[in-house]
Amino acid sequence: GNVWCFGDKKELVRILNKLVDPDNNIQLVGHNFLIDTTWLRSLGWDCGEEVRILDKYKIDLNATENLNGVYDTVFMYHAVDECAAYDLEKTAARWLGVKPWSTSLEEWKKEYCKAKKIPAKELKGYGDVPKEILLPYAAADAKYTYLIFKAIIPYLYSDVYKNNCWNAYWRT
């Protein structure tokens, strides 16, 4: 399973560059986005020597709406609770009360690896996953990442101990 399924790589890189341009005045939210940048670099996306996309943005820390910029919900969560379990489904369960949504994907991976006689850890990518499984899974990832972002923002201003956690977030 190492099939490319995103169309033209150069076009994807062009879109990503447009998204993270600090002059675009947009909001980009990811969960463990720093890890994704390793894969994105392999496509030819230049995100700098140190992947500190956040440094490109001047964000008004006193703003409570229209928080433009690039945010990573793993780092946000860590800033308000440094002892949590940070994987996306556990984070969504904690902040949103939702149940895991990867069950059908995990079942498919198990059956696929069994049929191909390969260990699960050798499965590379999701290119072979049927769209009726992959698309709902990916949509849930995106939806819950954004909802986690919205849920954590107030805690960056004042956590359970009334501490402002923005500085902890920026130093992560």
Q: What is the pLDDT of residues 8-29, one digit of tens each?
A: 788 888 887 777 776 777 777 8
According to the model, what pLDDT value does residue 49 have?
46
What CA–CA distance (Å, rounded) separates 3 from 116?
Answer: 15
Least confident of 47-51, 113-117, 168-172: 47-51
What CA–CA distance (Å, rounded) separates 32 from 98?
Answer: 19
Burial class (CB in 10 A: 0-12, 13-18, 19+), 53: buried
According to the model, what pLDDT value does residue 58 have?
46
pLDDT higher at 13 or 131: 131
pTM for the full model?
A: 0.80
Q: Calculate the CA dihedral of residues 66, 67, 68, 71 and round it to 10 degrees.
A: -150
Judge whether residue 69 has pLDDT over 80.
Answer: no
What CA–CA distance (Å, rounded) separates 86 from 117?
Answer: 31
Q: Please, which pLDDT band fits residue 62 given cuts at 50, 70 and 90?
A: low
- Mean pLDDT for the stretch of residues 105-129: 91
Instruction: Output DSSP code: residue 33.
Output: H
Judge whether residue 56 has pLDDT over 90.
Answer: no
Which long-range contacts does 4-11 make (Cβ < 8 Å, 24+ apart)? 4/127, 5/126, 5/127, 9/43, 9/44, 10/44
Q: Is the dihedral of CA 38, 39, 41, 42 positive or negative?
A: positive
